[in-house]
A and B are shown apart, each in its own frame.
Chain A
Amino acid sequence: MLNYIVRRLLYMVVTLFFVSILSFILIELPPGSYLDTEISRLQSVGGNLSVQAIQDLRARYGVDDPLPLKYWKWISGVVHGDFGESFEYKVPVGSLIWDRLAFSLALSFSSIIFSWLISIPIGVYSATHRYTIPDYIITLIQFIGVAIPEFLIALVLMVVASRTFHQDVGGLFSQRFNDAPWSVGKFIDFLKHAWIPIVVISLGSTAWLTRVMRANLLDVLNAQYVQTARAKGLKEGVVIWKHAVRNALHPLIMAAGGILPALISGEVIVSIVLNLPTTGPLFINALIKQDMYLAVTFLMFLSIMLVVGNLLADLALAWVDPRIRLE
């Protein structure tokens, strides 16, 4: 087991190294750089900018360096926790991202938990009541749930919430708590705001997990040990929850790794609609403004979330299912 984890971790580092190269190249692709915009801005406010000053600026930000050298400068900083400087905000990238990453992580994680809590009971109900009217309704809702892009649900929920409940939507905190230190009041306020993004982000994966759960349980219900359990006179509830569901959960854990990319992508786009202080808005803005170190760092961390999440899913699977040998 330990051997396996160490091997996976090493492998992960290699993958992330290549991901960093890939994202660096992608972000370097657009012609021009943030500095060009900056120089034209300085020229428009401050009149003439001498050729020497432009040269100095270019040298300071290293825009004319060849790509491998730029990458080397950046990655050697990253190893020490220095992610470069944001062109737009004029502060180190590290100071901008941690809060936002923490919120992103919290939202994605809560969304996974939420989608599990919802999808397991519904999937079980749907499988044990196959071909009844509620089952058909659940199936239909699943289809639609998978089809609706998250940002649309976000919009609809926001409209409904602000129209019918007159609730203040968008953001993660009310005005007065925005800059306040953490307290019980702030936490309650946070919960009041966080439920919309959590529901929205997890809806698609909830629908999908319900389908997976239903299909798994239907397979397991045909197994002989379920028949045996019934034959020896166990209560139906015990048969379902203790014998069948436990064994139907494994593919669901496997699926948890599969829904991570969707959750992370969903989180990025939903937070733009809902105006959340997470990675999404800042990342897209950095992309548009060519604020490259900020963008590349976000892309890296989103990938790390994905890769680590997949590893955790694999480990969890090995833990609940002794039939799986991790070698």
Chain B
Amino acid sequence: MAQVAAPANVKRAAKKNQDVSQVSQFTLMRRRFMQSKLSVAGGILLILMYLMAIFAPFLGPYPYDLIDSNFQWAAPTPIHFEGLRPSICGLTQTTDPATFSFVYTTDCTKLTPINFFVHGASYRLLYFFTSDIHLFGIESTTDQKLFIWGADRQGRDLFTRVLIGARVSLSVGLVGVALATILGSILGTASGYFGGAIDNVMQRVIELIQSVPTLPLYATIAAALPHDMPVVQRFFLITIVLSLVSWTGLARQVRGKVMSYRAADYTSAARIAGGSHQRIIMTHMMPNALSHIIVVAALAVPGTILGETGLSFLGLGMLPPAVSWGVLLRDAQQVQVVTTYPWLMIPAVAVILAVVCFQLLGDGLRDAVDPYG
């Protein structure tokens, strides 16, 4: 009998899906997730951004709070290549006698080379290591400075500040959503599982919170925080504020899922077999709802990041001397300032990049959670 050889790609596809019934669900999910290239790219970019935030003092050439009145509003330093060696032109600051604004004149006859792994200000990394080596920079013997993304009103290096700001901005999303997830899953499970009066009260509370517009509600709660508190304490209070509002959406989703599981046969079987409520919730409800919870949580992170940015932008979130992307963008509040010093908008690019990456990641996770579809 003649056999028709199947085309190679059909064969591979068949082979790939042959073991669907044999491999674990996790493997299937991973496989599905890897299929969406955009989500993988988003995930990798996010890991890079978090790494950059952790190693910020090493990557940035100067301490983030180093004030230098010789470089107020300094534009990003143009980089010249001398052969293969990057270097910067000399820059001198003069004051325009007519407008009293700073004028910078570049002098490209004397170039200062950019070195890698230079010694600079010492810093602490991960609370243990102390070092003074920076990835790049120029010798501290010259009076020149390297600002690849320009400097702010007080001559602080914007590049380092964006990296340091990422610590607050990127962790506010994770911590805030973690709090909201814990709150939302407990309340949502209770609401969906027990139903009745508990459910009724919970749903009315959620409706109440949701009938106040989000940003004004954030702002109102944040305005209640005293202004003079340590940075760390304020950070946690702001995350609590953000999660106090965002748990409602999550609780609704979990409730819906749990309600559908409650009616399932295996739940009835578990109850007839004498399982306690605790056991049914922990071994039947939670694992089932978990993947869904993770997806909803991942999709809630961008909202929380934007919430912090918006609040800090309005002066109600993190306050200087703390650094976050929202705090940095506060400098860019006036149009005149942004038109004159457009590099102050760089933190905005960071915000957008982080939010887009989280959305792509969340989208990929949502598709991966149901790998049988």
Contact = CB atoms under 8 A, between A and B. Distances in A.
B348 to A, nearest CB: 5
B213 A268 contact: yes
B28 interface: no
A137 interface: no
Interface residues of B, number: 40
A163 to B, nearest CB: 6
A15 B359 CA distance: 33
Interface stretch (B60-68, B261-269, B335-343): B335-343
Interface stretch (B18-26, B173-181, B217-225, B275-283): B217-225
A278 to B, nearest CB: 12
Contact of B356 (A27, A143, A261, A287): A143
B316 A287 contact: yes
A288 B316 contact: yes
A303 interface: yes
Nearest to B326: A149
Q: Which of A147, A261, A265, A266 has the most CB of B within 10 A?
A: A147
Interface residues of A, number: 51
B334 to A, nearest CB: 9
B219 A287 contact: yes
A295 B220 contact: yes
A107 interface: no
A302 B224 contact: no
A22 B338 CA distance: 38
Interface stretch (B1-9, B73-81, B86-94, B306-314): B306-314
A299 interface: yes
Contact of A149 (B306, B342, B345): B306
Interface stretch (B100-108, B128-136, B204-212, B288-296): B204-212
A19 interface: yes
Contact of A144 (B216, B220, B345, B356): B356
Given A152-B351, A288-B315, A303 B212 contact: yes
A162 interface: yes
B216 A283 contact: yes
A298 B216 contact: yes
B302 interface: yes
A138 interface: no
A143 B41 CA distance: 14
Contacts of A26: 220-221, 224
A152 B314 contact: no
Nearest to B347: A152
Contacts of B306: 149
Contacts of A273: 333
A155 B332 contact: yes
5 contacts: A149-B309, A149-B310, A159-B342, A268-B213, A305-B213
Interface of A: 15-16, 18-19, 22-23, 26-27, 29-31, 143-144, 146-149, 151-152, 155-156, 158-159, 162-163, 169-170, 260-262, 264-266, 268-269, 272-273, 283-284, 287-288, 290, 295, 298-299, 302-303, 305-307, 310
Given A147-B356, A264-B215, A273-B333, 6 more contacts: A27-B224, A144-B356, A148-B355, A155-B338, A261-B214, A264-B216
